[in-house]
Amino acid sequence: MQIFDVVIVGAGIAGLNTALNIPKDKKVLILCKENSWDCNTFYAQGGISVPVDEEDIELHIKDTLLAGAGLCDEDAVRVLCSEGMDAVKSLMDRGLEFDKDNEGNLLYTKEAAHSRNRILHAGGDATGRVVHLFLMQNNPHPLMYKTTVVDILKKDDRVYGVRVFHKGKFKNIYCKNLVLASGGIGSLYEFHTNSRTISADIQGLALECGCELRDMEMTQFHPTVFVNTDKARKQLLSESLRGEGAYVVNEKGERFLFDYDERGELSPRDIVSRAIFDYKQKHKGERVYLSFENFEKSFFKKRFPTIYYNLKDLGFNLPEERVPISPAFHYAMGGIKCDLDTKVANFRNLFVVGEVASTRVHGANRLASNSLLEGIVFSIRAAKAISRNDTDFSHIEFEDKNEPLFKEGDKEKKNELRKIMWDDVGIIRSREKLKSALHKVDMFIQEDIGKLLRLRLRVSKEIIKSALNRKESLGAHYIKE
């Protein structure tokens, strides 16, 4: 029987950088639900926020804490910002290139709620894709593709591996340490910016095996998304566009965000999202746009090539034409509770990194571009914690449980769930709508459904319950009576 030293679930920045920091002679396997690029890292546009110099560390901490609206764990934020420069440098030392000016100086851009320019970017607006490709090219360990994790093998305080569905068959994969780096929950919502593979199943499995999910009501909505496409993943229009001069305007071309917050386009993203949502509700039928009137064409094409060409494919001529926007679900601040070494409480050998984890580094509202930084800082910590972990493994037999993953009618229910989450557990919530959502989700759970839908429903239920338990608005959780 094959026993891996480490199995990593997920091949985004958190999973791949964990792998990169585990010595080559260790037996590591990375599991990937579909193709390697089917992860949120690949689609990240804006960049990686990082203190520009030692003096900027305290300011980056302050900005992160302010955006987090009092729910951050300050120690986690200190880890993020004080270890961030070294973590980014370690990738640059291995050859990762960020965008530079003609003199070879790193270019830092600005995004909402950062008090200075500190966002590194690569390939213009293709930061995630460039970083992901780099990590794939430098990854020393094997990847297993098209592999759905369907169970965590666990007994008492130990995990023994995972059960997977691969090439039409179920099988167990055993390991001494398990790292969950599978991303967030995007597909629970009707409108989202996430990769199609991001569907909360790992959070559901963690819940079923006794892990605590924390702050699940803290769901972040990105304010500027083009949602009128038939793709599940909607087209993100990066924060850095507003950071560099794009305006949010109404049909008459008026910038109305100042009516909501004096920082206008540069207000934190929860404020901008709510403002756009509220404006649309108050002006029924009116569209809201992102306008690029300040940009010169050749600069725009070079600085934002992904957005330029994606929107060209959708029929827009940028920067001349403005694009209708709406907020859409973007990021889960909550996740599986872990400590600052990424270890999950009550387990000896279970680790979580990236969006699936909750260190409380983002509190109630994540500061723009802190997520890629979180991925690289905490993955280094995970690799170190694993190297310190005792590695004995005594095999135990697990009963082969092959619960059907899908059942007839699941797809329709899944789509209905997405609508419920968008309509009733979205940008502006009310107790009444949350209670109605809870009731509908409870009804679905009792039906004859497949395991993957049950996991989605269980995580949705956690989000709704957490939202009901939090009586007042905080950060991304906004409740109106």
- Binders of ligand SIN in range 308-347 (CB under 6 A): 330-331
Residue 148 near residue 336 (C-beta atoms within 8 A): no
Give the residue numbers marked as catalytic: 269
Size of the site for ligand SIN (CB under 6 A): 10
* Contact residue for ligand SIN among 217, 239, 374, 462 (CB under 6 A): 239
- If DSSP states are collapsed to H, E and C, what string results for 107-139? CEECCCCCCCCCEECCCCCCHHHHHHHHHHHHC
Distances (CA, A) of 284 to 40, 264, 280, 288, 325: 33, 22, 6, 11, 15
* Residues in region 28-67 near ligand SIN by CB under 6 A: 45-46
Cα torsion through 306, 310, 315, 318, rounded to 10: -10
Burial class (CB in 10 A: 0-12, 13-18, 19+), 104: exposed
Three-state SS at 228: coil
Name the residue with the smallest CB distance to ligand SIN.
46
CA distance 30 to 145: 9
Between 182 and 349, whose beta carbon lies closer to ligand SIN? 182
State the minimum distance, in angstroms, from the CB of residue 243 to ligand SIN: 9
Pick one of 147, 197, 349, 371: the residue that binds ligand SIN (CB under 6 A): 371
Dihedral sign from CA coordinates of 452, 454, 455, 459: positive
Angle (CA) 88-41-416 rounded to 5° is 150
Amino acid at 96: L
Q: Could you tell me the smallest distance in angstroms from the CB atom of residue 259 to ligand SIN?
A: 23
Which one of 63-71, 199-207, 292-300, 366-374 is the stretch in contact with ligand SIN (CB under 6 A)?
Answer: 366-374
Which of the stretches 16-24, 75-83, 163-171, 236-244 binds ligand SIN when contact is defined by CB under 6 A? Answer: 236-244
Does position 197 bind ligand SIN by CB under 6 A?
A: no
The structure tokens 């030692």 sit at: 54
The CB-of-48 to ligand SIN minimum distance in angstroms stands at: 9
- The residue range among 98-106, 232-240, 353-361, 386-394 that interacts with ligand SIN, by the rule CB under 6 A, is 232-240
Tokens of 288: 């809201």
Q: Which stretch binds ligand SIN (CB under 6 A): 76-84, 286-294, 299-307, 365-373?
A: 365-373
Q: Among residues 176 and 330, whose Cβ is nearest to ligand SIN?
A: 330
Closer residue to ligand SIN in complex, CB, 153/241: 241
| Residues 6+ away with beta carbon under 8 Å from 213 | 203, 206, 207, 334, 335, 336, 337, 358, 459, 462
Tell me whether residue 377 or residue 449 sits nearer to ligand SIN (CB atom): 377
- Give the one residue of 17, 109, 238, 326 binding ligand SIN; rule: CB under 6 A: 238
**Which residues have CB under 8 Å from 400's CB, separation 6+?**
170, 172
Query: Is 207 or 368 the residue whose CB approaches ligand SIN more closely?
Result: 368
The minimum distance between CB 269 and ligand SIN, in angstroms, equals 8
Whose CA is closest to 440, among 458, 462, 423, 417? 417
Q: How far is the CB of 222 from ligand SIN (least distance, A)?
A: 6
Q: Rank residues 124 and 204 by Cβ distance to ligand SIN and give the closer one.
A: 124
In whole angstroms, give the CA distance from residue 169 to residue 406: 14
Residue 374 as a binder of ligand SIN (CB under 6 A): the answer is no
Should residue 368 be labelled a site residue for ligand SIN when binding is judged by CB under 6 A?
yes
Binding region for ligand SIN (CB under 6 A): 45-46, 238-240, 330-331, 368-369, 371
